[in-house]
Amino acid sequence: MYEVELKVRADHDTVGERLDEIGAQRIGTVSQEDVYYDAPDRDFAETDEALRIRTESADEPVTRLTYKGPLVESESKTRQEAETAVADPAEIRAILDGLGYEPAATVRKDREQYAVDGCTVTLDAVDGLGEFVEAELEVEDGIDEARGRLETVLEKLGLDPEDQIRTSYLGLLLAEADADPTDP
């Protein structure tokens, strides 16, 4: 499975008005906490991979373990992704601990999700980073076609697909921390 994603910085009030105008279907809101791990046997920053535990607070809290492979193209933030629900978050943390995986960073965000033309559009408010809009599709193949659909959705929202950010929220937060001279 591939997650094809386009992400841009955008003002949520402006995009929210546009979502209303085009008749987007509101899916709901959720808060997420993503704890990313470093591997004992390789540097995920070098291999462009990620391993995370995501805890989602909605009606019922849900925890998932996710592996994200390296980017597969230069035109979008497309990655191979494998994800599974976790019955006991403390046990999965204990397993990763036992294997030598260590928490590297935590990303917290509030998300408001919409359906637009078969795509998921998410308004993300990310702690320490600000407001973003993501448009995404999950596909088995047909990455180019999926990217084209996402570009069309962003354009309907008055956003320029050329402004996309291919760096993950984790990467953006780590770059912010590196650039902050007051950060010890």
Return the active site residues: 36
d(CA 79, CA 109) in angstroms, rounded, equals 21
Q: How many CA atoms lie within 13 A of 78 on its CB side?
A: 21
Task: Name the pairing type of β-strands 79-85 and 102-116.
Answer: unpaired
d(CA 42, CA 90) in angstroms, rounded, equals 24
d(CA 80, CA 133) in angstroms, rounded, equals 21
Long-range contacts formed by 139-142: CB under 8 A, 24+ apart: 139/1, 139/2, 139/4, 140/1, 140/2, 141/2
